[in-house]
Structure 1
């Protein structure tokens, strides 16, 4: 038996991983649920059967039942939830900016300073605490057992604003997770980055993995041997002397992908304190300029990144759906302040 192609890496933007198994020659026929239970750590037969029932397992590209008997050469693909450290999701009543909702999907516009799911140091007040309350209002019997992780299929950073997609049924979660794996979900972000991005558009295709020294950070690995494939397409929307407004389209969904990729080409996101963007990286040495930048940091006291566009295939109707989120006020004010600055201040040497 070979296990291969485990995607995505732990703690990536997507919350499902794909495990692929190939049955070796000489393997005895055996029920697929029992076979998987013997090879997956902490997996109960009941959980495996539930996963199979909602379509998380395919054999040779087709869904099967729990009593399917494996045979040599079979290719098994199993989607399973990545298991980050997080606690039980306790429903909490809170306002949610719901952009769209039907019986299968939920699209929410997330504010900044909100964690998506509970974890160490953030046991309450997360988006999923609010989603759990909202779903239980309409379906009191719903639990994490009936809808794993209350339908979360991807996530965005605490201080990133914008659109996030959730499923309202297990079947919808499977359908949406497969779209993320197949790179058919359209995700466009708007960012303010340090520096004048020279190329009007480009693609960054460099592996990403955890930083070897600073384990809460991620970095690029150009050798292609470390980390996971990460692809970001970018387009410059506006140049404002010492910063640029760029649109980034994700092809993959690694943790901090846009932040890490833009830093790798010399354009760290504005006020991204984890990656050094909360310091003056471009501009003049004059005190007035320093004060201007400090004022900009105060206006947008977070990493200047917004999940603007979300497009996906509806898991029930098959209809292609698109949603857009207006730029939040802090980023609007930040960009306008830079526009006013460049109108009165010519570009000076650093």
Structure 2
């Protein structure tokens, strides 16, 4: 029996599902698939495996099967499973949610800045999922903690990134959405304000992403070799303001900090991205009036200037193409307008 884990466990990503493949040996005798899979997964209960099969997270030769399916030699199994299950409990909390769309299968929300998506080390409360759990319980009286759809999160965005995120309300919807994210068929466009004048109108950044070799909370780009995970970001210039540029970024893959790392890699760190040095003046001579202007911009947008603006996918039940768009939040809009006025009415300092 051979097993291939296609996503490394110790490197988180925006998509929260990994894909594992299994090949059944030629000498394998018939056996129920739920039992066979359970024997090959660490800490997996028979019940959890059965739930995964029922939800469509496990396919055999590309087809969904039932729990009583008997495996046979040569079968190729593909299992989608949750990556980084850092949280084991979601405490419902009354947190304000900006719900853009909702039906029986999915929820699309517009996440504000300074909100973590799911509980984890150091952030057990106040997260988006804590608010969703409370919302679901209020709308479905009698819903127990065990019945809350922890599996509903199929991707995430950073704490200080604003914008659109989709959650599944059923296991089957989660499986369907997870496959779309894994196969890179989900349409995602981000708007970012970056330091410097990007000369090309558009381009593609192709560089692996992995944890920084010195600073473990950061990530870095590795263009040569196989270190890290394959990552591709397409970008298009929306507006140039001499010392900052407004860009649209389209994700082909979804790695943690992908846009932030890739833009820094090409020399255009996101504006006020303190983790990657964007909270310093990276373009322009530091003199009193200009420095004061930039500090004022940092105060207006006290975070990384990144917004998940559009999200498109196929509805997991109807198959209908769904598309959502979110306006830029006030802090990013305000800092863009401030830069526009500055370059229009004042001469920027020469380097």
- Tell me if TM exceeds 0.5: yes
CA distance in 2, matches of 1:197, 1:92: 43
Deviations 1:82-139 (A, max 9, x none): 1342241011112111111111111111100001111111111111001001111222
Runs (5+) with no aligned partner, structure 2: none
Per-residue deviation, 1:209: 1.2
Aligned match of 2:105? 104
- Cα distance 1:150–1:133, how it changes in 2: closer, same or farther (>3 A)? farther
Structure 1's 147 and 51: CA in aligned 2 closer, same or farther, altered over 3 A? farther
Corresponding residue SS for 1:17: strand
Look up the match of 2:323: 322
Which residue number in structure 2 is paired with residue 7 of structure 1? 7
- Please say if 1:89 is aligned against 2:106: no
Could you tell me how far 1:24 is from its partner in structure 2?
A: 2.9
2:180 maps to which residue?
179
Residue 344 (structure 1) aligns with: 345
Do 1:118 and 1:126's aligned partners in 2 also have CA atoms closer than 8 Å? yes
1:1-55 C-alpha deviation (Å, 9 max, x unpaired):
2222523764211111111112233333322212211111110111001110111
The answer to which of 14-23 and 261-270 deviates more is 14-23
User: The residue matched to 1:175 in structure 2 has which SS?
Assistant: helix
Is structure 2 residue 25 aligned with structure 1 residue 24?
A: yes
Task: Return 216-225 or 190-199, whichever deviates more.
Answer: 216-225
Report how far residue 69 of structure 1 moved.
2.2
Q: Quick check: 1:191 aligned with 2:222? A: no
CA contact (8 A) 1:109 1:325 kept: yes
Unaligned runs of 5+ in 1: none
Partner in structure 1 of residue 272 of structure 2 = 271
User: Does 1:129 pair with 2:100?
Assistant: no
Question: Conserved in 1, the CA contact under 8 Å of 2:149 and 2:169?
Answer: no
Q: Bigger shift: 69-78 or 252-261? A: 69-78
- Helix, strand or coil at the partner of 2:298: helix
Q: Distance in 1 between matches of 2:231 and 2:55?
A: 29
Deviation string for 1:58-97 (max 9, x for gaps)? 0110011222222232211001111342241011112111
Q: Distance in 1 between matches of 2:58 and 2:147?
A: 17
TM-score scaled to structure 2, two decimals? 0.96
Matches of residues 256-295 of structure 1 in structure 2 within 5 Å?
256-295=257-296
Question: Aligned partners of 2:215, 2:183: CA distance in 1, in Å?
Answer: 31
SS in 2 for 1:7: coil
Counterparts of 2:63 and 2:33, CA distance in 1: 13
CA contact (8 A) 1:201 1:235 kept: yes
